Chain A
Amino acid sequence: MADFLLEIGLEEVPARMIAGAEAELGRRLNELLTRERLLGPSAKLTTYSTPRRLAVLVEDVLATQADIEEQLTGPSWKVAFKDSAPTPAAEAFAKKAGVDVSALEKIANAKGEYVGATVKKKGRAAAELLATELPKEVLALYWAKNMYWRAGKSERFVRPVRWVVALLDSAIVPLEIAGIKASNASRGHRVLHGEAPVVVDQAKNYSSNLRKAKVVVDVAERRQSIRKALDAATRTVAGARWREDAGLVETLVHLTEWPTVILGNFEPEYLTLPEEVLVTVMRDHQKYFAVEGADGKLAPHFLAVLNTQVDAEGEAIIRHGNARVLRARFKDAQFFWDFDQKTKLVDRVESLKNVTFQKELGSYYDKSVKTNTVAHSLHEVLKSNGFTNYNYAQMIQAVRLAKTDLTTELVKEFTELQGVIGGLYARTQGHDEAVAAAIYEQYTPGSTDDKIPATIEGQLLGLADRIQTIVAMFGIGSAPTGSKDPFALRRAANAIVKILAESQLPLSLDNVVEASGASSANKDQVAAFLRERLSFYLKDVRGFSYDVVSAVLATDADDVRDAIARAEALTAVRGSEDFAAISAAFKRIKNILRQAEEKGFAIQAAKGVALSTEAEQLANAAATLAPQVAKLRESRNYGEALSLIATLRPVVDAFFDKVMVLDPDPAIRGANLALIDEVLRGFSGIADFSEIVTA
């Protein structure tokens, strides 16, 4: 038994890539050790990472693989032995297997009798196996963006490999990665420890050896220490709290080896800037946490996570430096805000002609004009459906001004605030609140976790803007393919589905596509794209199982909220035994009808044909239930409708038990087929049950 440690020393790895790589390295090593039978009975694998290293420690690794016996099969016995004497074939096989001819055995299997040999295979040493196999696994790690650095060498990795530690207990495993030979010398914190090597004396002491060199290799520990330090620093301000930001915590966990936190201040006068701007500057540009007072409003402080530990003097220097940068950024933002007010949003509409939307599609001005048309068409649909619960003029005004903030200095500086800035400016410049709110929320939901716009005007702007983009991009052949979606059209379509799902708008996917003004050439393509996104939404966002989603969408994939209701009802009943039987029966019906079609059988109820009792019973039951189910369906009472359908089970089961549907007599066959066809059509209005996977 031994402990195995691998540490790959790197130049700073991008924070966003570390967690994935750490997990993958652990998985790959685990698979390798499993495949090579090197894991001991109580093996335990732990992964570590910092910006400068990826590491795995495996406790209880076998020093050597166990020896194994293998049985080899050779030529047939008759060929190998003539009159009990070995032939050259037997001798050749024995030689190949490395055994004496006298050790050959007879193996009998279904095909006959063969010569066999049992060979002992000596287990290989873990060090030797790891040295040959592990480097390949390391170099196969996935990186979102990688590089090469050695002249004339083809290996790609995220950043140059600078050292490698590989130990079985205290013995160096002689492996080499990207030209770097493994040793027991790691490196510590760049500044706090310096360049002197950090010797890992025992694999299992990795974490404690590195801690002495001012590196916390355990990610969870750094996360916890950052959170604690944020709490502690915030406590120095009475009643204050730091703004929770799990994403930022993760980033900083992966930017530090020895994290500490300082609290800094900025001039309260900057609090007159909108909170959105202040938080964006702090979070996105400076990676600082914002601090709020007991009233929930921003307080003039920030929290910076450092990758070092300094004395009081150093803290003062660093606090001062960070505050200086933040002040300059705030000053810029203030300058831009004031400057932007000189030109009102309404006066910026014309200048959108100079902002490219997409090179083949012209400017944002052109786009706004088209979005306006789409928004108007959506309005017409709503009007015809009697939905008038919003202000049309304000919605159109929001569409007209939606993109004007792209010409502002503040958005040029903080592009992630587009929309938000427009909304804030609209409010400042005295536009109606509905206009401001719609502009503000036009890019929400940005992800499937986000909320949809709160106002109907905002929902309509969001729909019109996105469908116009999708249709235009499809029109120039820029539909997403595979993993390529450079214009984030899937995200746009996800947002459309989500808005339809979570708003009260009486709009279907087809309504949206129709309103988009898509050419007949790409209308179907866009509609199919939206349906695919609906399927994604039901499965990945709502968590419906794939067969439920297939069943529901096979029937109808146009009305998003209706599809959700049907999926909910179907999910509720699909576990019941009766319903499983019905699903199986419907699958059978479909198969039979397909066969019938392939064979060209007529589906026709002929008059005067005597049906079997079971068929009569099924026909009667179906005739009774169908109108009731239809009624429930129309009132969207899908749960009850499905329960009712499940009561068909006994007659359906009896029918399939007793009746041979494809009867040799064409008349009976035609009648049977007509019956099951009617059952299928009569009860598939909620979902195509044949799609349901039954155990």
Chain B
Amino acid sequence: MPLSQLAHPLKPTSLTFQELLFRLQGFWAERGCVLQQPYDVEVGAGTMAPETFLRVQGPKPYRVGYAQPSRRPADGRYGENPNRLFRHTQFQLILKPPPVNVQELYLESLEAIGIDLHQHDLKFEEDNWEWPAGGAWGVGWQVMLDGLEITQFTYFQQCGGLDLDPICAELTYGLERIAAFLQDVDSIYDIVWARDPETGAPVTYGDVRLAEELQFSVYNFEFADVDKLWEHFRLYEAEAQSLLAQATVLFANEKASAVEKRRFPLLATYELALKCSHLFNLLDARGAISVTERVGVIGRIRTLAVGVAKAYAAQQIS
């Protein structure tokens, strides 16, 4: 039974954080999306998870949705700022290829989470997206609801420096923002995450996550051992490079069998690249990356990410 027809329809304004996620997942599952679980490696955005970054490559249609915790160490505020988080949650959706009515579907999804569009002001304002380290970019909009950016809507054009064919639509819902909007609270930490079904007693976002925001801010800004972070970075990078070098030889070898190509662990290689990206963010938050180093380090991550994307594209057609 579709979620929207459940026996106890939720009052629009009282959607809890988890109900918001249920509704979005239910809505998109009904429209043919695979519901994935969050990727279990640190990423800065849902786009970087392989379900987006790698799946968009190649011709195979795919629809997937997942709630991705997105870590941005430098954005941490020790849990003191009501609007800023070290780790926020993106509900990330990939529709490949985009249906012609993708915008209409998106608007329906807003209705599904209790937003009566007749009582709100909605605008699609130009906002293009780019992740230079991934050789990825697209054009699209930030969707504004009563002056609040609630979703990033992007038509991917390139990823890993390669033109996509077909392209895909990427919808990124900012769950904390939307929940705070729906519940009309001024602080993210006051969002009701869940409610006791018997007593109605709330568990707030703060109850669930405040300690994490505080402790990770402390770690990211004060405790993280710079030398060790660099060491981790070098180790992950070295392994990724070694794998990429082998991939390059393999995919250039016309005699290599399709089986051999398909089993090559590019997904694992990509994970190593993600590790490097996260370590870079940690080092950056620590203020440990000098002016001269910065560009070079980003370039090294780009080499890995773009290298994997290109090899992955080749793997898809082998």
User: A residues near B, CB below 8 A?
Assistant: 11-12, 14-16, 51, 145-152, 159-160, 162, 190-191, 195, 255-256, 286-288, 304, 306-308, 310, 313-314, 317-318, 320-322, 324-328, 331-332, 335, 353-356, 359, 362-363
Contacts and interface: CB of A to CB of B under 8 A. Distances in A.
A619 to B, nearest CB: 68
Contacts of A191: 117-118, 122
Interface in B12-50: none
Interface in B91-150: 97-98, 100, 103-104, 107, 117-126, 128, 138-139, 141, 145-148
Contacts of B138: 147
A322 B103 contact: no
A324 B291 contact: no
Contacts of A324: 148, 181, 184, 186
Contact of B291 (A149, A332, A355): A355
Nearest to A260: B121
Q: What 4 pairs between A and B have smallest CB-CB spacing?
A: A321-B146, A14-B126, A151-B166, A12-B124
B82 to A, nearest CB: 7
Given A160-B100, A354-B291, 12 more contacts: A11-B103, A14-B126, A146-B139, A159-B139, A304-B121, A308-B121, A310-B120, A318-B119, A324-B148, A324-B181, A359-B294, A362-B292
Contacts of B292: 359, 362
Nearest to B103: A11
Given A148-B167, A152-B165, A307 B123 contact: yes
Given A307-B122, A321-B181, A328 B186 contact: yes
A195 B104 contact: yes
B291 A304 contact: no
A332 B81 CA distance: 8
Interface centre among A150, A288, A326 (most CB of B within 10 A): A150
Interface centre among A310, A321, A362 (most CB of B within 10 A): A321
Contacts of A325: 146-148
B155 interface: yes
Contacts of B97: 151
A145 B128 contact: yes
Interface centre among B81, B119, B148, B181 (most CB of A within 10 A): B119
B157 A326 contact: no
Contacts of B103: 11
A286 B128 contact: no
B226 to A, nearest CB: 14
Contacts of A190: 107, 117, 122
A284 to B, nearest CB: 12
Contacts of B259: none
Contacts of A288: 147
Contact of A314 (B119, B166, B181, B287): B119
B167 A149 contact: yes
A51 B124 contact: yes
B83 interface: yes
Contacts of B252: none
A310 B148 CA distance: 18
Contact of B82 (A148, A317, A331): A331
B295 interface: yes
Contacts of A256: 123
A326 B186 CA distance: 11
Contacts, number: 116
B290 interface: yes
Contacts of B141: 12
Interface in B140-180: 141, 145-148, 155, 157, 165-167
12 contacts: A14-B126, A15-B126, A145-B139, A160-B155, A190-B117, A310-B118, A313-B119, A318-B119, A318-B121, A322-B146, A332-B83, A356-B291
Contacts of A287: 147
A626 B49 CA distance: 80
Nearest to A288: B147
A229 to B, nearest CB: 14
A376 B291 CA distance: 27
Contacts of B122: 190-191, 307-308
Interface of B: 59, 81-83, 97-98, 100, 103-104, 107, 117-126, 128, 138-139, 141, 145-148, 155, 157, 165-167, 181, 184, 186, 287, 290-292, 294-295
A150 B167 CA distance: 8
A406 B80 CA distance: 23
A304 B147 contact: yes
Nearest to B148: A325
A321 B115 CA distance: 12
A324 B104 CA distance: 27
B118 A255 contact: no
Contacts of B81: 332, 335
Given A147-B139, A151-B97, A353 B291 contact: yes
Contacts of B126: 12, 14-16
B121 A306 contact: yes
Contact of B295 (A307, A322, A355, A359): A359
Contacts of A12: 123-126, 141
A612 B81 CA distance: 93
A537 B123 CA distance: 39
A147 B120 contact: no
A318 B146 contact: yes
B290 A354 contact: yes
Nearest to B292: A362
Contacts of A145: 128, 139
A15 B125 contact: yes
Contacts of B82: 328, 331
A571 to B, nearest CB: 43
Nearest to B296: A359
B119 A11 contact: no
Nearest to B141: A12
B171 to A, nearest CB: 13
Contacts of B139: 145-147, 159
A363 B291 CA distance: 7
B147 A149 contact: no
B123 A255 contact: yes
Contact of A147 (B146, B157, B294): B157
A406 to B, nearest CB: 12
Contacts of A148: 157, 167
Contacts of B147: 286-288, 304, 321-322, 325-326
A70 B236 CA distance: 77
A302 to B, nearest CB: 9
Contacts of A304: 121, 147
Contacts of B167: 147-149, 151
Contacts of B287: 354
B119 A162 contact: no
B157 A314 contact: no
B155 A149 contact: yes
B273 to A, nearest CB: 22
